[in-house]
Amino acid sequence: MSTEKYNIKQEIETLREDCLRPTRTFNRTTQMWVGFLLMVMGWGLYCYIHQLGHGLGVTAMRDYVSWGLYISTFVFFIGISHSGTLVSAILRITKQEWRRPITRSAELLTFVSLLFGGIQPIIDLGHPERIGNLVLFGRVQSPLMWDVISILTYFTGSTVFLFLPMIPDMALCRDRLTVVDTRFKRFKKWLYTKMALGWQGTKSQWHRLEKTMTIMTIVIIPVAVSVHTVVSYIFAMTLRPGWNSTVFGIYFVVGALYSGSAGVILGMAAFRKFYHLEKYLTPRHFDLIGRIVLALTLFYAYLNMNEYWIPAYKMATAEGHLLRDLFYGDYSKVFWTLQFGTVLLPIIVMSFPKGRKITPLVIICIIIVIGAWIKRYLIVVPTMLHPFLPIQDVTTQWSDYFPNYVEFSVEAACVAGIFLVITIFSKLFPMMAVWEVEEGIQINHDNATAIELRKEREAEDAKTIEGLPISGDQSIKQQV
Amino acid sequence: MKEDNIEDESKEAGRRNFLKFGALAAGLAVVGGGLQKAFSEEKETGEKVKVLNTSDGKVYEANTTNLRECNGPRISNEEARKGIPNKKFVMVIDEAKCDGCKKCTDACQEAHFIPPEREWIKVFKMKDSETTAPYFMPKPCFHCDSPLCVKVCPVGATFKRQDGIVLIDNERCIGCRSCMAACPYSTRFFNWSAPGPEEVAAVGNMPYSPERGLPRRMGTVEKCDFCPDMIRQGKMPHCVSGCPMDAIYFGDQNEDAVTNASGVTVKLSQLLEDNGGYRFLEELGTEPRVYYLSAKNRKYPIPDMKDINNVRKGTKPKNMDMENM
């Protein structure tokens, strides 16, 4: 027993060091990576300023396709942001032990994709400087207003949800910082001290943290569901064929969870590789979250069927034009590639245990995430190209759409921004919730000890029982 | 309604006086846009004329250099949002008379300085099905009574007035284009870039009013406005007066009367009753204020559908166009 106790202390110590190690280095590769991201962001910013000066006419959008890549990306990023809620809140509430090493990266992904998703409609505005009109003249009847309210609530909530479990870790960083020499020591010391909020790990502090976490966990789930529901409502509240659909709310929510959980897997794989967390993010974790992605993909496939098969059976006139375009028209190649490549293929691959091994799972998740982005585009753009009245006597520039360099550059900058925030975050803060994993180790240890104790006791019992007649076996055991 | 007005903006007085101006010939109206400057500089070189202020009934003396031609009284933003009292404007388009000459479009484009790629009133060549006859369908904004565009606007930049007209305030519009997505009739247009030099030269200094929609602003939405500026002068919208076929009627539903370009006024309810009046895509429930009369006993040859430049995709090449209702 004494060796056991020694081991758990050492294990926790190793864990703490493993988690804090990446925050102490900022090597050449990281510097180059950050420099590259900043360059991409700089170019995107230049393009956006160009757009501000010359109007949205510098994009490929025109009157028929008045929403394009920006709004598609908005839907996509907000979708990715559902990862944190799923993994963190749902797995927390269902007391899934294996969630412990994943929660931090999932919550971070939520925070950062919401940040960059939320600015997409602002990038898309003709007059971003008039954003204050939303407060001055805001109308709650507008679906866009629901988006603003809901996303702001979710952003606030998920920021708190990311921050709360960081408090004990910040205290750990603060306390350990004095021991080891690092870069930006004074800044880090100030930052950790501020963020630890005077955490000392007392009983009442733990109690309060757990209580707040429980409340946040329960509150954040309906908020997250509301977010993607009202994002779908900016489309579903119109009469346009393809958008005029009652299934849109849940279709978007499930699509979000499906792409978001795939995003979490990619994050996990990246941190595992770059920060050497193989010990904590085991193939078992990937297998389990792979099952969740599989379940969500199946659900998504079912909703896809509802979304396309029901109108396709009836082929109502205006809707029929759109569906013909998707099924065997201009968008058919992309449409079927997505249906087979990002829905059917992942279902088949992930159904097998071998398909949930790390490498195939990561490949599938890359496909899912990129596919989800293109799918958002396919929800937004073809519908805009199929209005009730025919598109007549306009040049193809006005009647067709493919995003141009301005839009791609701005979106590249946003993706770079997401990577930059994640990189900087991971260089300042541990990418696993150290105390949560510790708790897991402790629980495992306690369980192991309990099992050991029971075994010992049973062995002793057996010794006593041996001397007794067999018929009395049952009653004696019960007494024990 | 036919009044010649001038607006006299005096910085010292700090108020706006709407003046009736009798000295100049009828038809010439003047407005004091940018007058504040002229007054403060006190450069009074022109001829002095007497003007009547309709708000207090007094006669003032003003200098002609301070007076500018205008197309009607300047309407405040609050007034533009309320609309003209006791009116319900309505338009009737007779498909039996429309020969697709696009003169309505031309008149509208010219009056509103609209670039060619967007047409506030667009003439479609329609063919509802393989077996039915094609017809022309000029399509302005329908000024729906249940307008989705107004519902979805997050800032109330587009609004429905008591006289039935749906307008846009481009000083409030944030350019989110929700209304464009919501409108089922592709009626709304976005100012993707800055207005052209011709327009700037002509109306760049004009004071903005939602009733005229000029000067237009980059990054805001615009559309057919039923020409409330013309209505206030007692005139017809440009498309109505520009139609050589008398195919477009415009009037007041409360009076049950509509008038065409030749000045023929008919009973609205009778007109709709006798000519198979209908509204486009009635099943959408948007309650349009524009009625169509069926192309019965047409006064023009059937439109040739061959030369149609239809850019719809995903439809069968045969009868690819119009079976879209």
Shortest CA distance from B189: residue in chain A: A63
Mean pLDDT of B81-109: 93
> Cβ A237–B155 below 8 Å, yes or no?
no
Residue with the larger pLDDT of the pair B169 and A18 = B169
Concatenate the DSSP letters of all residues of B157-184 into one string.
Answer: -EEE-TTS-EEE-TTT-----HHHHH-T
Question: Are the Cβ atoms of B286 and A235 closer than 8 angstroms?
Answer: no
Q: How far, in Å, CA of B117 to CA of B189, rounded?
A: 10
The letter for the amino acid at A121 is P
The tokens for B69 are 């031609």
Alpha carbon distance B71, B232 (integer Å): 9
**Cα–Cα distance, A99 to A76 (Å, whole number):** 24
Dihedral sign (CA B81, B115, A44, A49): negative
The DSSP bridge partners found for residue A317 are none
**Above 70 in pLDDT, residue B36?**
no
Res B10 pLDDT > 70: no
Q: Indicate if the pLDDT at residue B8 is higher than 80.
A: no
For every residue of A268-309, DSSP letters joined together read HHHHHHHTT-TTTS-HHHHHHHHHHHHHHHHHHHHHHHHHHH
> Token pair for residue A90?
């749902």
Give me A236's structure tokens. Answer: 């579903």
CA distance B124 to A284: 62
Instruction: Return the half-sphere exposure (C-beta side, CA atoms, 13 A cut-off) of residue B199.
Output: 18
The one-character DSSP state at B275 is T
And the tokens for A347? 């279902």
Give one DSSP letter per residue of B237-299, joined into a string: -HHHHH-TT--EEEEETTTTEEE-TT--EEEHHHHHHHTTEE-TTGGG----SEEEE---S-S
pLDDT at A9: 81
Give residues with Cβ within 8 angstroms of A200, minimum separation 6.
Answer: A171
CA B56, CA A422: separation in Å to the nearest integer?
68
Predicted local confidence at residue B73, as pLDDT: 61
Which stretches of chain A score pLDDT less than 50? 1-2, 472, 480
Q: Which residue of B has its CA nearest to A51?
A: B193
Per residue in B61-85, pLDDT tens?
A: 777 666 655 555 667 888 889 999 9
Q: Which positions 110-139 of B are in contact with A (Cβ < 8 Å)?
A: 117-118, 122, 124-125, 139
**Which of B231, B216, B250, B221 shows the shortest CA–CA distance to B138?**
B250
> What is the pTM for the complete model shown?
0.85
Contacts of A237 (CB under 8 A, 6+ apart): A143, B148, B151, B152, B182
Furthest C-alpha separation in chain A: 101
* Angle between helix A185-196 and helix A167-177 axes, rounded to 10 deg: 140
pLDDT of residue A150: 94
CB contact under 8 A, A55 and B219: yes
Q: Which residue has the tokens 């260089």?
A: A427
Name the residue in chain B with its Cα closest to that of A330. B314
B158, B178, B320: best to mutate for the A interface, most A CBs within 10 A: B178
Average pLDDT over residues B131-150: 92
Pairing between β-strand B30-31 and β-strand B68-69 as defined by DSSP bridges: antiparallel
How many CB pairs below 8 Å do chains A and B form together? 188
Taking the Cβ of residue A315 and every Cβ of chain B, the question of whether any pair is shorter than 8 Å is answered with no
- Distance in Å, alpha carbon of A255 to nearest chain B alpha carbon: 22
DSSP at A65: S
Minimal CA separation from A322 to chain B, in Å = 7
Q: What is the DSSP string of A189-201?
A: HHHHHHHHTT---
pLDDT for the residue numbered B65: 65
| Alpha-carbon gap: B100 to the closest alpha carbon of chain A (Å) | 13
Closest residue of chain B to A234, computed from CA coordinates = B178
- Mark residue A92 as left, alpha or beta (left: phi above 0; alpha: psi -120 to 50; beta: remaining): alpha
State residue B308's pLDDT score.
Answer: 59
Residue B71: the pLDDT is 53
Looking at residue B325, what DSSP letter applies? Answer: -
Q: Does B180 touch chain A (CB under 8 A)?
A: yes
Residue of B nearest to A325 (CA): B314
Task: Compute CA distances B297 → A372, B92, B96, whole Å.
Answer: 54, 17, 6
Which of B132, B142, B176, B224 is the best residue to mutate to test the A interface, defined by the most A CB atoms within 10 Å of its own CB?
Answer: B176
Cβ pair A389:B185 closer than 8 A: yes
The closest alpha carbon to B39, from B71, B14, B3, B73, belongs to B14
Distances (CA, A) of A58 to A39, A47, A61, B137: 21, 9, 8, 32
> Which of A130, A317, A392 is opposite residue B325, by nearest beta carbon?
A317
Q: Are the beta carbons of B155 and A133 separated by less than 8 Å?
A: yes
CB contact under 8 A, B284 and A61: no
Nearest residue, CB atoms, B192 vs list A55, A131, A331: A55
Residue in A239, A385, A400 closest to B284 by CB: A239
Distance from CA of B282 to the nearest CA of A (A): 12
pLDDT surpasses 70 at B33: no
User: Cis omega (within 30 of 0) on the bond before B215?
Assistant: yes
